[in-house]
Chains A and B, each alone.
Chain A
Amino acid sequence: MHKEAAIREPLILGHKTYHDITEDVCRPIEDKAPRMWYILFGIALIIGLYGVGCILYLLGTGVGVWGLNKTVGWAWDITNFVWWVGIGHAGTLISAVLLLFRQKWRMAINRSAEAMTIFAVFMAGLFPLIHMGRLWLGYWVLPLPNHFGSLWVNFNSPLLWDVFAISTYLSVSLVFWYIGLIPDFATIRDRAKKPISKKMYSIMSFGWSGRAKHWNRFELVSLVLAGLATPLVFSVHSIVSFDFATSVIPGWHTTIFPPYFVAGAVFSGFAMVQTLLLVMRKAMNLEAYIHTKHVEYMNIVIMVTGSIVGTAYITELFISWYSGVEYEAYAFINRATGPYWWAYWAMMTCNVVSPQLMWFKKLRRSLLFTFIISIVVNIGMWFERYVIIVTSLHRDYLPSSWSMHYPSHIDLGVYVGTIGLFFVFFLLFARYFPVLALNELKTILKSSGESYKNAPDDHHDEPLAPAVKVVEAPKADATDVATEDVEAKNDTNDNNE
């Protein structure tokens, strides 16, 4: 076991044992849901169903019910799509990239962040599908033998790349998430008392028994999936940005888009994680596992990615002037001073100014401040997409076709509806799934848990029975196991240490 620096803040507060971790995570699932859960679930469900109603109306009537016109042919649908995909980037980033970097703090947040990712990508995937108008022909995007007509799908088109990118991302994230969930479902299965829940968790845990060989495979599979998911995260939003960057519209046709979109996605994704986790940790009494230090780490990520986004905005502005292309320059002047100036400045304030406040330690460790900023950032990131899409389109090359975009109530209903559906999914997750990665947290308890961290020096006066007892006895031997051949042979097994 590696020893951590004593001054580093512990990741698990209080005197927890392995059993306490199981208890703390499983109790909310086993107890009756609090009244608040039902209230929130009811609200989310009503909003979600309203959204479904709007979608059905859209499908029955046609895409004309959206506020689109001849000039602005793409507006809220793609804005919402990109917004949700962006939010869906934090989960895999946390579980994959941070796993590769051996960041232990990810273990408290990866499960719920990844659930959020999956639900957000569901919502994102909805928009291109309903935009097809004829949802039931959605399978035409697949490269099927062409007895439908004459052509294959166009493999040169970024829209088709998107089909592959989003479906790969969704299915790989789902598998990654589920493989991690299996041992935790087994824990719940073995504790379950009611026959129905025992049966359900028994099916969901796939008969997991925790054999040494299975854990060996588990760790390698997690590592390789993380290795695969890391470039995947970056590729997905790069490809989403190609939808715009490969076009010839001034304001879209910029090579800076892929890195800028990826940074923006991580930025908004982490903000959404903060919004959800700050509420969840309180509601489910998980303050010992997700505490100020975790929030601070995430705020630092928000600050860094927010600064990258800010730099990208300013670079874009500079290049639009420096390139000497009149159309490009006009697109940007129009963004900042034209009829959509308010959207542009909302985006600038929310995304460029607000993350800079995180330089102050007091602010980035303040939970209330973080919660407010996390919502501000997500509003800002929605405006970013709206600004990029609508302001680049609404003043066409021909002034005679200039126009404005006004969303219809169906636009609004579909968008708000996806937020409702997202919360329906997330609340169900929080109710029935282990929201923290139990088995992973147990692996860091001894290296980063508060009561173990500075043992054996600090614990003399503490009335902590089992936790300290177990750590002391093996201490001497544990170190020589580590120094012998064991670790060298077993690189892949180290990924949690």
Chain B
Amino acid sequence: MADKVIYAMYDDDHVLKDGAKKLVSKGVKVSEVFSPFPIHGIDPIIGVKNTRLGIMAFLYGLTGLTLATIGMRYFMVQDWPMNIGGKPNFTYMDNILAFIPISFEFTVLCAAHGMAITYFLRNKTLPGMPAQNPDPRTTDDRFVMELRTSENSQFSAEELEAMLKETGIVELDQKDVA
């Protein structure tokens, strides 16, 4: 079955948010929202789950801390114990204070970069990727809501458009997708 994508354009974030609320309460599925800046509070309305990148950052940080600890223990205690100013260096614990700064820095390094790389991969935003916003104005001052007929089988395209028109849109556009 051919899928129709309907793009409803708004010129205000709050109008779009209220429109989305109304549509969702009627049982319409909003498949995507494109906006020039984050619209606060839109995610639960259109059913976007909160990201779990924060958990990933924690895990990357933990990895960094572990690597730093294992590394410094190996370099400074096991492989070549360095005698610095005659201070004891027979165990990791003897020298732990000197290892704290690098442990911290390496934790931050791994957490930040691990999270950033995951973020780029999950968003599929990488150098040279094509832009996918339906209208160039959505990065300026327009907000676009995307509905798909395949996800709203209980409504016809006309019904969806009629409902959209009640929500204060400024432009309406549709596209057939194979």
Docked Cα-Cα span, A225 to B46, in Å, equals: 26
Instruction: Evaluate contact between B137 and A211: CB separation under 8 angstroms.
Output: no
Given contacts A164-B106, A217-B122, contact A155 B76 (CB under 8 A): yes
A412 to chain B, nearest CB (A): 33
A497 within 8 A of B: yes
Docked Cα-Cα span, A175 to B119, in Å, equals: 11
CB contacts under 8 Å to A, within B38-58, are: 38-46, 48, 50-51, 53-54, 57
List the B side residues contacting A153 at CB < 8 Å: 75
Instruction: Evaluate contact between A209 and B39: CB separation under 8 angstroms.
Output: no
B121 to chain A, nearest CB (A): 11
A17 within 8 A of B: yes
A200 to chain B, nearest CB (A): 11
CB contacts under 8 Å to A, within B11-56, are: 11-12, 14-15, 17-18, 21, 32-46, 48, 50-51, 53-54
B162 within 8 A of A: no
Instruction: Evaluate contact between B15 and A182: CB separation under 8 angstroms.
Output: no
B70 within 8 A of A: no
B3 within 8 A of A: no
CB contacts under 8 Å to B, within A216-231, are: 216-221, 224-225, 228-229, 231
Q: Which of A347-355, A415-423, A436-444 contacts B (4 or more CB under 8 A)?
A: A436-444
Instruction: Evaluate contact between A175 and B113: CB separation under 8 angstroms.
Output: yes
Which one, B32, B34, B36, B71, contacts A439 given CB within 8 A? B36
Closest to A227 in B: B57
B172 within 8 A of A: no
Closest to A151 in B: B80
Given contacts A143-B71, A186-B131, A474-B14, contact A212 B35 (CB under 8 A): yes
B85 to chain A, nearest CB (A): 9
Instruction: Evaluate contact between A175 and B129: CB separation under 8 angstroms.
Output: no
Given contacts A22-B140, A217-B123, A474-B14, contact A210 B106 (CB under 8 A): no
Range class of the A interface residue count: 35 or more
A357 within 8 A of B: no
Given contacts A215-B35, A216-B38, contact A155 B102 (CB under 8 A): yes
Docked Cα-Cα span, A176 to B119, in Å, equals: 12
A199 to chain B, nearest CB (A): 10
Instruction: Evaluate contact between A473 and B84: CB separation under 8 angstroms.
Output: no
CB contacts under 8 Å to A, within B108-131, are: 108-109, 111-113, 115-116, 119-120, 122-131
Instruction: Evaluate contact between B116 and A211: CB separation under 8 angstroms.
Output: no
Instruction: Evaluate contact between A496 and B51: CB separation under 8 angstroms.
Output: no
Docked Cα-Cα span, A494 to B138, in Å, equals: 21
Which one, A164, A209, A439, A474, contacts B37 given CB within 8 A? A439
A213 within 8 A of B: yes
Given contacts A155-B99, A183-B139, contact A473 B168 (CB under 8 A): yes
Docked Cα-Cα span, A218 to B168, in Å, equals: 28
A453 to chain B, nearest CB (A): 16
B163 within 8 A of A: no
CB contacts under 8 Å to B, within A7-23, are: 17-19, 22
B 126-159 binary contact with A (CB < 8 Å = 1; else 0): 1111111100111111000000000000000000
Instruction: Evaluate contact between A473 and B43: CB separation under 8 angstroms.
Output: no
A89 within 8 A of B: no
List the B side residues contacting A110 at CB < 8 Å: none
Closest to B97 in A: A156
Docked Cα-Cα span, A402 to B56, in Å, equals: 56
Which one, B44, B61, B125, contacts A214 given CB within 8 A? B125
CB contacts under 8 Å to B, within A187-216, are: 187, 189-191, 202-216
B 57-71 binary contact with A (CB < 8 Å = 1; else 0): 100010000000001
A292 within 8 A of B: no
Given contacts A160-B102, A205-B131, A474-B15, contact A211 B32 (CB under 8 A): yes
Instruction: Evaluate contact between B33 and A212: CB separation under 8 angstroms.
Output: yes
B41 to chain A, nearest CB (A): 4
A256 within 8 A of B: no
Instruction: Evaluate contact between A208 and B131: CB separation under 8 angstroms.
Output: yes
Question: Which DSSP category, helix, strand, loop or mixed, fits chain A's interface?
Answer: helix
B173 within 8 A of A: no
Given contacts A154-B82, A182-B125, A473-B168, contact A210 B105 (CB under 8 A): no
Given contacts A17-B141, A228-B108, A466-B11, contact A210 B43 (CB under 8 A): no
Instruction: Evaluate contact between B105 and A224: CB separation under 8 angstroms.
Output: no
Instruction: Evaluate contact between A497 and B40: CB separation under 8 angstroms.
Output: yes
Given contacts A155-B99, A220-B53, contact A203 B127 (CB under 8 A): yes
List the B side residues contacting A443 at CB < 8 Å: 37-38, 40
B23 to chain A, nearest CB (A): 14
B148 to chain A, nearest CB (A): 14
A275 within 8 A of B: no
Closest to A221 in B: B119
B29 to chain A, nearest CB (A): 13
Which residue of A167, A212, A439, A442 has the most chain B CB atoms within 10 A of its CB atom?
A212
Docked Cα-Cα span, A439 to B141, in Å, equals: 10
CB contacts under 8 Å to B, within A228-248, are: 228-229, 231-232, 235, 239, 242
Q: Which of A27-35, A45-53, A388-396, A475-483 contacts B (4 or more CB under 8 A)?
A: A475-483
B86 within 8 A of A: no
B24 to chain A, nearest CB (A): 12
Instruction: Evaluate contact between A206 and B140: CB separation under 8 angstroms.
Output: no
List the B side residues contacting A242 at CB < 8 Å: 101
Instruction: Evaluate contact between A231 and B104: CB separation under 8 angstroms.
Output: yes
Interface residues of B (CB under 8 A from A): 11-12, 14-15, 17-18, 21, 32-46, 48, 50-51, 53-54, 57, 61, 71-72, 75-76, 79-80, 82, 84, 95, 98-99, 101-102, 104-106, 108-109, 111-113, 115-116, 119-120, 122-133, 136-141, 168
The 10 A-B residue pairs with the shortest CB-CB distance in the complex, in nearest-first order? A207-B129, A474-B14, A18-B141, A190-B136, A206-B125, A215-B38, A470-B12, A152-B75, A439-B37, A209-B133
Task: Give 12 A-B contacts (CB < 8 Å), ordered by A residue.
Answer: A1-B40, A156-B98, A164-B106, A165-B105, A176-B112, A179-B116, A187-B36, A208-B125, A212-B43, A214-B123, A485-B44, A493-B41
